Structure 1
Amino acid sequence: MTAGCSTQKNTGKSRWWHAFNARYNTYYNGKTAYTEGALEKENGNKDNFTEIIPLYTVGNKKSRDLGKGKFDRAIEKSEKTIKLHSIKRRPEWTKNRRKTAKDIEWLNRKEYNPFLWKAWLMLGKSQFQKGNFDEAASTFSYMSRLYSTQPAIDGIARSWLARSYVELDWLYDAEDVINKMKRDTMHYKAVDEWDYAYASYYIKSGRYEEAIPYLRKAIRHEKRKKQKARLWYLMGQMYSSLNKREPAYKAYKRVIRQNPPYEVEFNARIAQTEVMAKGKGKQMIRKLRRMAASDKNKDYLDQVYYAIGNIYMAQQDTANAISAYEKGNGKATRSGIEKGVLLLRLGGLYWQLEKYNDAQRCYGEAIGLLDKDRDDYEQLSQRSKVLDELVPYTDAVHLQDSLQILATLPEKERNDAIDRVIEALKKKEKEEKRAQQEADAEKQLQQQGAIGNRNNMKKPSTGMNTSQGGVWYFYNPMAVNQGKTAFQRQWGKRENTDDWQRINRTVVNLNPNTTGEEGDTVDSLAVNDSIQPANTDSVATDTAATDPHTREYYMEQIPFTAEQKAASDEIIKDGLFNSGVIFKDKLDNLNLGKKQLVRLTSQYTDFQRMDEAWYHLFLLYSRQGNKIMADSCLAKLQADYPESDWTVLLSDPYFAENAKFGVHIEDSLYAATYDAFKADRYDEVKTNADLSAERFPMGQNRPKFIFINGLGMLNNGDAKGCLAEMKQVVEKYPQSEVAGMAGMIIKGVQEGKPLHGGKFDLGDVWTRRAINIEESDSAGTDTLSKERYTEFIFMLAFRPDSVDNNQLLYEMAKYNFTNFLVRNFDIQTDTDNGISRMMVSGFLSYDEALQYARQLYSDTDMAARLKGCRRIIISDTNLKLLGTRYSYLDYEQFFEKAFAPITVSEEQLLNIPENIEQTEEDDDEDDGKEEENDTQDMFNNNGNVPQQNGGVDFDDDFYQ
């Protein structure tokens, strides 16, 4: 029977047999798995009702992996069905019979199993439900071509192709499929599928008016109540976006009729109150307050009060809207998107009202709850960063002003004010304690299984889920932002730099009074711990003075004495200056910036940076178009601070030109100076450096000018002048890119190494040679070895951002494991002076390493993967000198002379175990012979010698 029904035969019997077996064997198992996967995705899906929900649950990224195992099985069974039961052989035709149009279509088919199209359809739908939309698109595109002679199947396949393109955001391709389908006659069996396709396309395009008719048809086709409820909710959202309140209200009502899960029903009721709030605000607010009072809504109070706040905002009642939002924030039990949206709206209101302290609090929490894919996330992130920088200064000013006022009040009024603060603190702690007790009681009830049927209802997450959908923590932006918030609560706002906890981040210690070795850094977090009081009896602190529930605690902070008042004033000065500059430059709030800076310049005339404050006031008035006040600021600077850099800058006759074109002019001047340095025109370098100091004293390239000028002095024999310039770079510009190299030069001098001239290239890492202060002065370690029979290493060197290091490590390990059965090669990775290196070790000679390199690059796939890597064969002895005494370019030139001409053994050395001694060949016979293979390109990056480009690096030794 099996032989008689081979897929190589195309008879009525074979077609029936394969269709029957495909349907009730492999396809049935796959269809069962697909159904189970679809139900798992439907039941586990959680929509974000604060935005337009997607037409398909797979559109939710967090739901994408639901049912994945089931869909994989469905794909497997579909592929097996196609493989076992596909009949592509054309049937035999009786030539004496005339062909009809139907016969011609039949003979032109590419697949003759009448059931197999369903396996193809299930394959594509399974890929679609997994979120592999590109694979699904490929499957449906092929299916459309395979069944091009059958309009019904072709129409269904093309409808799913359009949907796949829509989910990929390839709207142009989707539109092309749709337009072509409009020109053709659509088979009636494909109409239902195309209703979904049209709805999907128009929704994704934001054309809700055109999408609504098709979505209404799709709802009629839908048989699952949960999905039908989702579609009605989507319908309500689209009507609401079109400001059609009455149809939106009816759509949300249809959601409730479907008896959906409670979360969907709750959101529909909330949405109803918002769309019907116009003219019925008080009625809707009363309804929402009743919902808030219901025990079953206690986990959704943030949404209830958010809706109340929205109604107040529609009535332009900002004060009550803020009150409602704050209440929702305080009563929220979840840390999810809903709370994030509430905080985002609340933060926006505070931002408009210029209450930046409250705005920072809201934005700081919201950024950890919202997804980066939101359209307004970039604005949220930018505002949060600026406020994190601003608020500490404004808070400090406000606090010190309050404390100074308290110091001037009569004792009774001062005590009353302190008592009010203590009462507020106790009330807050009491509320927090009650909330914690309730949470503990609820948790205990859940553990005991005593909360009845409520356990059957899926409750929203009440905490931070750092691994939703099996995603690693650092791939979850919401979890990362929440972690940042927690870090800032403990450590405060810290700049994202190396050694963020240290005071001195330079490579050299310029403080001569510091004991210990040069370059030792001080841990700022351990400073207080290292200070030991002289008298241990004085360490015993007054309990009352450290307890925030007592008056003494607050009295300790009030500046009563002149010294305390002076310290408080210093904090105010710093806060006024920095907040004024931030208001001016980063918030573009010129009025608040002027308020801060004017108070500073008028009230605190002894401020150390007063010249800079007047400079910023000059810029502020200039931006406001107030030339009279701007000129008065300039006159003040010229009269009181004639030597200030800011006065020199503003007095410059080229100031206006520099303000417009200064960046470009300075860049051009630096490029010319750098070219002059490379051409040994050191007088020109000095002239340009002096011009930079005169015209661009605060330019971005100023540290580079100083650095290159110092090197020019060194090449002219002025070692002391060079050292002074390097110290200036380290002291004034510790964050610049040349500060590290300047520090290394100074450190070498501090260790007794004399200086002599050298050339640099900042950008070319391949010519860079770092200063190794520990290297020996002996000639033996300074010379590259030509020894051939010693341990060698094959190295791949590349810029850190040019190659995926982890992927490369995997590919190299896989290649070694699969190609070398008797040898084990170790792979190590490191970073050396701005170069990432992957080193394969275990070669007993140069010959082995070169054979390995040739075999590796003869593999076409590996050669393609290694694009962008520089190939280096080097001995262990020479490796120690690479990047220190000799640059990579130096070693390449050495290799071409010393090793490249050598003829290596033709024996397959890598197939010989390591414990078998190899016979040395006569090197003398091979001298002068060249390899047929192009070893000269071994070090070139894709055949190109690296070009030196615009940076600074060593060409000759700095130290003798």
Structure 2
Amino acid sequence: MKTIKTRHIIPLAALIALLITAGCSTEKNTAQSRWWHSFNARYNTYYNGTLAYIDGSLEKENGNKDNFTEMIPLYTVGNKDSRELGKSNFDRAIEKSQKAIKLHSIKKRPQWTKSRKKTEKDIEWLNRKEYNPFLWKAWMLMGRSQFMKGSFDEAASTFAYMSRLYSTQPAIYGRARAWLAKCYIEEGWIYDAEDVITKIKRDSLHWRAVKEWDYTYADYYIHTGRYAEAIPYLRKVIKHEMRRKQRARQWYLMGQLEAELGHKENAYKAFKRVIRLNPPYELEFNARIAMSEVMAGTQSKKMIRRLKRMAASDNNKDYLDQVYYAIGNIYMLQKDTANAIAAYEKGNTKSTRNGIEKGVLLLTLGDIYWDKEDYSNAGRCYGEAIGLLDKERDDYEQLSERSKVLDELVPYTDAVHLQDSLQALAKMPEKERNEAIDRVIEALKKKEKEERDAQAELDAQQQMAQQGGMGNMNNTNNMTNNATDKSGKWYFYNPTAVSQGKATFQKMWGRRENVDDWQRVNKTVVSLDNNPAEMTDEMRDSIAAAEAAADSLENVMDSAQNNPHKREYYLKQIPFTEEQVAESNKIIEDGLFHAGIIFKDKLDNLTLSEKTLRRLTDSYPDFENMDEAFYHLYLLYSRRQDKTQANIFLDKLKRSYPKSQWTILLSDPYFEENAKFGEHIEDSLYAATYNAFKAGKYEEVSTNTSLSAKRFPLGANRDKFIFIGGLSKLNSGDSNGCLTDMQEVVSKYPQSDVSPMAGMIINGVKAGRQLRGGKFDIGDVWEHRSVVLSDSDSIAARKFIAERNTDFTFMMVYSPDSLNENKLLFELARFNFSNFIVRNFDIVIDELNGMHRMMVSGFRNYDEALQYARQLYKNQQVMKLAQKGRAIIISDSNIELLGTQYSYNDYDKFYEQHFVPLRISTVRLLTEPSTIEFEKPDNGEGGETDGLYNGGVIEEGLYINDDQPATGEADSGISIPVEPENTPATGSQDDNTIAIPVEEEKAGGNADDGGIVIPDMQQNNATNNGNAQQGTTQTDNNSFMIEPEPQTDQPATQDSQGFEISTDVYDTNANGNAAGSQTQQGNAQTDVMTDAVEPQKQPEQPQQTKQPVPAVPQKEEPAANDTDELIFDFGDDTGTGNSNANSSTNNNNGNDSNNKQNGYDLEDEYYDLDGF
């Protein structure tokens, strides 16, 4: 008996479940379907997405490392080193959000009784683009996840589309616009953010969006440096913040803002608030340091004592660089430079982390030495700091330039200082000399002992860490010797480890340019001999002698003369004999000469340059380059406007060195003109020479080249003159002269831009190729090939392939300086996201021969790529940005030949011959996913794995029409062209076709409940138009509406295989009554192409005096054409389509006021996301 009941109950339950879910399809818009899809989206895909989002946010919060030496960002994603944290979880949240939107989006309008009156709220509700009252949270989750993982361009596209989708709902619209502005701010697009902020200020802001805009305004004013305006909004943000750790960070940021404005007491109170919140130790420590610094002006001694106590604590042994940096800053406020330098140096010595904090300390110390003209110590500090600091710092460029100059200067000044010291020791009595040497030896031993102790302590800490005995100390210790950091990054993704490697390399080799063969002095691109020569007997003997010397080095090291701990080691270096003194003087002469020129030309320190060069000319009259020293002194005094001294050295130069090149140069009647305008004259001469070369005027080229050699022998364009001169000789038949000039370019100017091309010509001749003249434009990149004279037979045999059904790529080729590459990338990504949601097109930027190529891949054949290109051409924003580039459609197999074997113009000819004549498929190929998986769900509404496709946001609606012109681009919306349907009203849509949803824009007005009022519109009843042809009608908001074909009024029906789109057009009179409507059957579609509509500013309304009424389900009166029986309130202000609409409007207004007065919003998505 029990078995019989179970056997009947199970099929009955399954049948009931099937009937319920079958009635809740997204193709229907009833109370049941809205409730079902809201419920399913909330507790299925969206719930899983929120869990992933929370996990990712926790990972980012716990792993975030702020740079407390500068202003910390409001959002942790603003830290580039922390941006990758939680990325996998955020990707999962995005995937779940997309799935919720795909499965539960309701685009179809609900049915409405035509005889029933419509209120303004009903009209607004009926003109929505999304009827699932919960789905906006899925959109918000997707955009926030993209934002938190650092994909600000993707997030901006999501929020821009979301603001358009919910343009009739002010609360959601305001939130979306706030996040859009934040995306622009974090991306660095301040002008775009200002545009969004300016437009939102013109409209009344819904109270539910105020919280999000507080965050936005605070972030905006901080990024723009308007700290006084940021502070009030930041205080509101702190009140809104639900996470304790984030609130502590925000109070620290508040303290930084107050300190920048000079409000020391307010800053002190803000930092004190940080400590009260019991934040992580690093944040607490930095707050205490900041408290000491802001109060140092009035309580300096007390603050220094407090900092020294912090330095003595074992908990702070890894933060000693910051402690002593703060002590040094306090001394600098007191103008006590000596104690400040001592504190900074001690912090440098005690530092264990080699992080950005040490880099800032060294930068500050280097600046002090720079101002004191102690360039040796300044170079030491700068050289180590440059590997520890971020390249995007505002002062990094200055640091880099100073470091380069000091790398060149310091070897000369150190050499002079060393030789002066050695000569002074040589002149000392033996007793004093030995005492001085002993002091040096003692200092060396002390330094070595300190280094050994530090290394032993570090080894002990590492050993204890491996044994798990470090306790809490190990939590804050950065073990940078490991190949990976705590987040599991590889060595080269660990900036601290990389900086340590750079510092070690620079200690061994100095600062080197990142080029091939960096260890070679002469980096010419031409090999003097292709075949390595065999070693001679003399070379073998030399190598053997060197090896023998190396083998005996260990034995020699034990001798006193090679032991730095013995006096003999130093006595050996002191010049006692006349020969040794003469050799030492040569070193001093060379150092003084080069140092004086660097002081004058690169440091603009004329005083120090004069002192150095005058010592050279006065103390060392036998210097071999004395004529050049006189020349530089003449220039120095001329810059000082000291004509008397300048003429003295000019006379010395002419009298002592009449045939010197510097005498000839100063005797040139054009010298003064060249000194003032020589750079511009030479540039103009080169431009004329280049134009003459392109025009084939080789005699003019030869004349100008000779003039350049005579008048500008040391000019900046001399290498280019020689190169063009050699090419002109080739066209005149002088191939040997051409090769001679190419050799001169390679040997004298190996770092020149034209040196590689000259080397290719020489290598080609050595390979047996013949030089031939010809006209060509070396600036024409479209004719450029990188494989010309040295291509192999295998490469030469390859040709373009005219294959149609293979993978294709659409690319835009452009000069990197000709357009805004970041803006173009964003607009292209937004175009792809908004128009091809079911396809994933990858965007990659690479560089070839100095040109950048933005490539869109993922096309399965030529037809798809061409359809994409045609639709992209209609996007005015993208085309305006890319107007200086060239668009190319090319197969993946042909890309590798482009720019190497063949030029871009070669491919254009090939394309016109083989691809242009092809007939293109009229099937909408890009509306189909690249991969299709069919899975039949167990019930009517899929669960976590249900749905036709997995992946991006998929919506039902219209096809894209390539024949329609693109509309004007709004700042937040994407214009979608519409293709009119030619199928009959009862036709079906293919199951596998994914289409873009209908988005009708309605002008906003005023409502007494904070909603949108639909203004009067002229009646466009299709019934009155008879059998009028379909066309476009200009509407009041300057948009174009494609009118559907006229059909008889009848209830909309649903085809078994298609999606039903209702195309009712409501026109109202002044009283809000419906003037007419039209329903189109089957898949007939209507679209309004317009810019993103923003809610109009609402005039102030008198305050409601009636008591708030809770929102409760309303009993709906039966309607002939409405099948709704149940009403569920999700708090989204949606109308229900019943006769009690006016009452519903008033009740909702009461609820809205009540929530506002209570100060909380139960629909706030922050509650779903655990405060993140």
Q: Counterparts of 1:612-631 in structure 2 under 5 Å? A: 612-631=628-647
Partner of 2:298: 279
Residue 359 of structure 2 contacts residue 385 of structure 2 at CA under 8 Å; is this kept in 1?
Answer: yes
One-letter code aligned to 1:664: H
Deviation at 1:80, TM superposition (A): 1.7
Residue 651 of structure 1: which of 667, 670, 682 is its match? 667
- The reply on whether 1:860 has 2:866 as its aligned counterpart is yes
Which residue matches 1:556?
572
CA contact (8 A) 1:674 1:708 kept: yes
- Cα distance change on mapping 1:133 and 1:773 into 2, 3 Å: closer
Residue from 159, 168, 186 that aligns with 1:167: 186
CA–CA distance in structure 2, aligned partners of residues 862 and 470 of structure 1: 40
Question: Equivalent of 1:666, from 670, 675, 682?
Answer: 682
Summarize the Cα distance change of 1:677–1:605 in structure 2 as closer, same or farther, 3 Å threshold: farther
User: Which one is further off, 762-771 or 40-49?
Assistant: 762-771
> What is the match of residue 596 of structure 1?
612
- Find the residue that maps to 2:118 and give its secondary structure: coil
Number of residue-to-residue matches in the alignment: 828
* Aligned AA (1:145): R
Alignment match of 2:543 (pick from 519, 524, 530): 530
Q: Secondary structure at the match of 2:23?
A: helix
Q: 1:110 to 1:281 in 2, by over 3 A?
A: same
Give the match for residue 607 of structure 1. Answer: 623
Question: Does 2:132 match 1:117?
Answer: no
The CA distance in 1 between the partners of 2:695 and 2:115, in whole Å, is 92
1:395 deviates by 0.6
Give 1:289 deviation, angstroms. 0.7
Structure 1 pair 577–470 and aligned structure 2 pair: CA distance change class (3 A): farther
Instruction: Spell out the pairing of 1:67-78 with structure 2 (5 A cutoff).
Output: 67-78=86-97
- Indicate the residue corresponding to 2:369 in structure 1: 350
- More divergent stretch after superposition (736-745 vs 179-188): 736-745
Give the drift of 1:427. 0.3
Return the alpha-carbon distance in structure 2 between the equivalents of residues 615 and 595 of structure 1. Answer: 15
Which has the larger share of helix?
1
Which one-letter code corresponds to 2:415 in the other structure?
A: A
Equivalent-residue separation in structure 2 for 1:141 and 1:733 (angstroms): 52
How far, CA to CA, are the matches of 2:151 and 2:552 in structure 1? 69
CA contact (8 A) 2:812 2:886 kept: no
Q: Deviations over 1:575-625 (max 9, x none)?
A: 111111111111111111111111112222222222222111111111111
Could you tell me how far 1:687 is from its partner in structure 2? Answer: 5.0
Q: Distance in 1 between matches of 2:149 and 2:328?
A: 39
Give the CA deviation at 1:391: 0.7
- Does residue 578 of the first structure (1) align with residue 582 of the second (2)? no
Contact kept, 8 Å, 1:333 with 1:462, in 2: the verdict is no
Structure 1 residues 338 and 664: alpha-carbon distance in aligned structure 2, compared to 1, 3 A threshold: same
* Cross-structure match for 2:36: 17
Instruction: Mark the CA change 1:98 to 1:452 in structure 2 (over 3 Å): closer, same or farther.
Output: same
1:386 to 405, 412, 417: 405
Say if 1:482 and 1:793 are closer, same or farther in 2 by CA, change over 3 A: farther
Distance 1:139 1:749 in 2: 57
- Residue 52 of structure 2 corresponds to which residue in structure 1? 33
CA distance in 1, matches of 2:775, 2:195: 59
Match of 1:88 among 87, 90, 107: 107
The answer to whether the 8 Å contact 2:147/2:155 transfers is yes
**Could you tell me which residue of structure 2 aligns to residue 135 of structure 1?**
154
Residues of 2 paired with 1:708 and 1:180: CA distance? 55
- 2:286 aligned with 1:267, yes or no? yes
- The match for 2:835 is none
- Which residue of 240, 243, 251 corresponds with 1:232? 251
Shift of 1:650: 0.9
SS at match of 2:556: coil
Q: What is the 5 A alignment of 1:318-397?
A: 318-397=337-416
How far apart are residue 164 of structure 1 and its match? Answer: 2.3
Are the counterparts in 2 of residues 617 and 630 from structure 1 also a CA contact under 8 Å?
yes
User: Following the alignment from structure 1 to structure 2, what is the Cα–Cα distance between the partners of residues 256 and 440?
Assistant: 33
Letter in 1 for 2:507: R
- Equivalent in the alignment of 1:488: 506
Q: What is the Cα deviation at residue 466 of structure 1?
A: 7.8
Partner AA of 2:322 in structure 1? Q
Distance 1:424 1:387, change over 3 A: same
**Is structure 2 residue 72 aligned with structure 1 residue 59?**
no
- By how many angstroms is 1:9 displaced? 2.3
The CA deviation at 1:76 is 1.6
For residues 662 and 30 of structure 1, the distance between their equivalents in structure 2, rounded to whole angstroms, comes to 66
How far apart, in 2, do the equivalents of 1:12 and 1:755 lie? 82
Deviates more, 1:185-194 or 1:344-353: 185-194
TM-superposed CA distance for 1:140, in Å, is 2.4
Distance 1:87 1:770 in 2: 57
The one-letter amino acid paired with 1:648 is I
Deviation for aligned residue 1:644: 1.4
SS in 2 for 1:418: helix
Does structure 1 retain, via aligned residues, the 8 Å contact 2:483–2:491?
Answer: no
Distance 2:199 2:735 in 1: 77
* Partner amino acid, structure 2, of 1:128: F
Task: Return the offset for 1:757.
Answer: 8.8
* Partner AA of 1:625 in structure 2: Q
Normalized against structure 1, the TM-score is what? 0.76
Please list the CA deviations of residues 887-914 of structure 1 after superposition, one character each: whole Å capped at 9, or x if unmatched.
989x989x99xxx99xxxxxxxxxxxxx
SS of equivalent residue, structure 1 residue 639: helix
The one-letter amino acid paired with 1:431 is E
1:107 is aligned to 126
What are the Cα deviations for residues 353-398 of structure 1, in whole angstroms up to 9, with x where unaligned? 1111111111111111111121111111111111111111111111
Distance 2:384 2:667 in 1: 46
Pairing 1:751-830 to 2, within 5 Å after superposition: 792-794=798-800
Gaps of at least 5 residues in structure 2 are 1-19, 803-810, 817-845, 854-860, 873-884, 892-896, 915-1172
What does 1:691-706 align with in structure 2 at a 5 Å threshold? 691-703=707-719, 705=721
- Rounded to whole Å, the distance in 2 between the matches of 1:181 and 1:799 is 35
What is the deviation of 1:73? 1.7
Alpha-carbon distance between aligned partners in 2 of 1:562 and 1:259, rounded to the nearest angstrom: 72
Cα distance between partner residues in 2 of 1:86 and 1:556 = 88
Q: Distance in 1 between matches of 2:750 and 2:294?
A: 58
Q: Secondary structure at the match of 2:715?
A: coil
2:326 to 275, 294, 307: 307
Q: Residue 182 of structure 1 corresponds to which residue in structure 2?
A: 201
2:471 paired residue among 441, 452, 477: 452
Which range is displaced more, 526-535 or 215-224?
526-535
Name the CA shift for 1:861/1:661 in 2 (closer, same or farther; >3 Å).
farther
Q: Is it true that 1:499 corresponds to 2:505 in the alignment?
A: no
Does residue 45 of structure 2 align to residue 2 of structure 1?
no
Q: Using a 3 Å threshold, how does the CA distance of structure 1 residues 528 and 481 change in structure 2: closer, same or farther?
A: farther
Kindly state the Cα deviation for residue 548 of structure 1 after the two structures are TM-superposed.
1.0
CA contact (8 A) 1:371 1:477 kept: no
**What percentage of aligned pairs have identical amino acids?**
65
CA distance in 2, matches of 1:715, 1:202: 62
Letter in 2 for 1:252: F
Structure 1 residue identity aligned to 2:519: Q
Report the Cα offset of residue 565 of structure 1.
Answer: 2.0
Task: Please list every run of 5 or more consecutive structure 1 residues that lacks an aligned counterpart in the other structure.
Answer: 511-515, 776-780, 782-789, 804-828, 838-854, 873-878, 902-960
Equivalent AA in structure 1 for residue 634 of structure 2: F
Identify the residue that residue 417 of structure 2 maps to in structure 1: 398
Give the aligned partner of residue 642 of structure 1. Answer: 658
Contact 1:509–1:520 at 8 Å: present in 2 too? no
8 Å CA contact 2:252–2:271 kept in 1: the answer is: yes
| 2:556 aligned residue | 541
Q: How far did residue 730 of structure 1 move?
A: 6.4
Equivalent-residue separation in structure 2 for 1:390 and 1:414 (angstroms)? 29
Cα offset, 1:671, TM superposition: 5.0
Q: Any idea what the Cα deviations from partners look like across 1:518-563, whole Å, max 9, x if unmatched?
A: 99799xxx99983726997997636222211111211221222222
What secondary structure is seen at the aligned counterpart in 2 of 1:567? helix
Task: Tell me how far apart the structure 2 counterparts of residues 725 and 714 of structure 1 sit (CA, whole Å).
Answer: 10
Please tell me the residue identity of whatever aligns with 2:543. S
